[in-house]
Amino acid sequence: MEHQLPPGFEAAGVHCGIKRNPQKPDLALVVSRRECTAAGVYTQNRVFGAPIAWNRQITPSNQVRAVVVNSGNANACTGQRGLRDAEAMAQAVADQLGCRQQQVLVLSTGIIGQYLPMDKIMRGIAQAREQLGASQDHLLQAARGMLTTDTRPKLASARFSTTRGQDVPLCGIAKGAGMIAPNMATMLAVVMTTAQLAPEQAQQMLHQAADETFNCLSIDGHTSTSDAVLLLATGESGPLEQEDRHRFQAALHQVCEQLARQIADDGEGITHLVQLDVEGCPDRQTARQVAKTVAESVLVKTAIAGGDPNWGRIVSAVGYAGADVPLDRLVLEINGVPIYAQGGPCTFDAQGLAQSMKQQRLVRIRLDFQQGEARVRFWTTDLTVEYVRFNSQYTT
């Protein structure tokens, strides 16, 4: 699918020198030609980067003009100097666009505890301003400017028609490959749309979409210091009727889910993407509690890495999840094959299922407690030797 910036937005991605490789962009700029509604959902880690502190003061808002992103340096654990640097980034963009500092949101991602090279960033902001455009390549370069350990950019799109026949596009870009865990946010993402939304309405819709997608994603169980998801809405498509708002929520969910899956699929050193469906629960929170526990089990993740249908590890993880679910009704399937039901093992071809797990990148695990209607889809990955090697040498 080809991805396009919604009308009214421009973007750019440049290399300003934070990263050593001159072929890798490390600064991105997204600009709305008019003041737009902006909402944000941020990391719940009590240790958070300076840009998070800045953005929390601003969102939700109906006057935002731009988002500036640098990669390679998180500007986290940098004290008052870090706060001043984040504010300086916002002011530099404001000067370039002729707007106010409080109309610019800031995102930073990368190594924790290092000061930003502000001279390079200032030059990069001026360069990005000169290179702004609305083409597919401009969007792709901005998506690349957000990346750290990612192997590829993440982009997603959706659109719907209003009851008045107005076309409403949505487009999102994201980064994330490691230090990924639920408890919003767990990566960086910017979603743009022409929908007309009030600030509090946008905030509520983004919170719901994030809770159902990015909060159902875990690679390593580590909530980052710098993560954020932003929603920018220009209002060019006009007001939304009640039915239109439902359509927009569905489209926003679609974009966020596509980005969440791409983040999981690009996990550092992984060999398997895992789709975990927990069904038949009394409420969604219970389903999510079970899913998160299973998804973050090191023993479950290593079994998947080896293609081992070790149902005992999955069932025991359910048992210590602390969720009030009927274990005697549990049905467990891997790749559509029932392997455990009603308290005991099923007869199945273990070698055949193992081959299926080894040969397919996507492994599907289904847990059905047959107690209620609540369900959740959770994304995770396996755990490999390559993941350990990569993260043992991240800063050295």
Query: Would you call 130 exposed, middle or buried from its count of C-beta atoms within 10 A (0-12, 13-18, 19+)?
Result: exposed
pLDDT at 223: 60
**Domains identified in the chain, total number:** 2
CB contact at 8 A, 39 and 206? yes
Specify whether the CB–CB gap between 327 and 319 falls below 8 A: yes
Domain boundary among 265, 292, 308: 265
Say whether both 57 and 195 belong to one domain: yes
310 and 261 share a domain? no
Q: Are residues 117 and 240 in the same domain?
A: yes
Residues 195 and 279 in one domain: no
Distance (Å, whole) CA 8 – CA 80: 35
Residues of the chain with pLDDT under 70: 1, 178-186, 219-226, 393-396
pLDDT score for 185: 43
Q: How far apart are the first and last CA of the chain?
A: 38
pLDDT of 184: 44
Catalytic positions, please?
186
Residue 1 in domain:
no
Q: How far apart are CA 285 and CA 209, in angstroms?
A: 15
Domain range for residue 328? 273-392
**Residue 288 is assigned to a structural domain of this protein:** yes
- Distance, in Å, from the CA atom of 216 to the CA atom of 333, rounded to the nearest integer, reads 20
Residue 170 and residue 91 share a domain: yes
Residue 3 carries which DSSP code? -
pLDDT of 331 reads 97
Pair 219, 307 in one domain: no
pTM of the model: 0.89
Domain identity same for 43 and 180: yes
Whether 3 is in a domain gets the answer: no
Q: Which of 243, 265, 287 is the last residue of a domain?
A: 265
Q: Are residues 125 and 88 in the same domain?
A: yes
CATH, residue 362:
3.10.20.340
- The conformation of residue 46, written as its DSSP 8-state character, comes to S
**C-alpha distances out from residue 232 to 39, 115, 140, 170, 238, Å:** 7, 28, 18, 10, 14
Are 116 and 22 in a shared domain? yes
355 domain residue, yes or no: yes
Which residue among 235, 265, 295 closes a domain? 265
Residues 186 and 115 in one domain: yes
Half-sphere exposure of 4 (CA within 13 A, CB side): 8
- Check residue 270 and give its pLDDT: 84
Does residue 19 sit in the same domain as residue 136?
yes
Neighbours of 326 (CB within 10 A): 12
